[in-house]
Amino acid sequence: MSLDIQHNRAAQRFEVEAEGTLCVLDYTLAEGGMAITRTLVPPPAGGRGVAGELVRTALDFARAKGWKVAPLCSYAEAWMARHPDYADLRA
């Protein structure tokens, strides 16, 4: 599945439509970093790797900005634990 993930800066989220539903990763900004507060993938889009791609996109964005990331969302926390190549971003 090819995903066209968009960064909605005004809403502080990354979003993509998959299987006719809006899937999002919400974040907040703090001094020197980003906190991932929620990933939401409704059931029709579940099990297709959408949440993982949202997290990867957010982390790549944070890396490009030189930010640290606090994965406050349980999914983002688990994803980062499974991908040690992103461990350097952990706040």
Q: Is residue 23 part of a domain?
A: yes
pLDDT, tens digit, 9 for 90 and up, residues 13-30: 999 999 999 999 999 998
Q: Is residue 18 part of a domain?
A: yes
The number of angstroms, rounded, from the C-alpha of 44 to the middle of its chain's C-alpha atoms is 19
* Number of domains present in the structure of the chain: 1
| Sign of the dihedral through C-alpha 65, 11, 24, 72 | positive
Q: Is residue 1 part of a domain?
A: no
Band (pLDDT 50/70/90 cuts) for residue 1 is low
Mean pLDDT of the chain: 96
Non-local (6+) Cβ contacts of 5 within 8 A are 14, 15, 16, 53, 54, 57
DSSP state of 48: S
Q: Is residue 51 part of a domain?
A: yes
Domain with 18 in it: 6-89
CATH code for the domain of 61 = 3.40.630.30
Q: Is residue 68 part of a domain?
A: yes
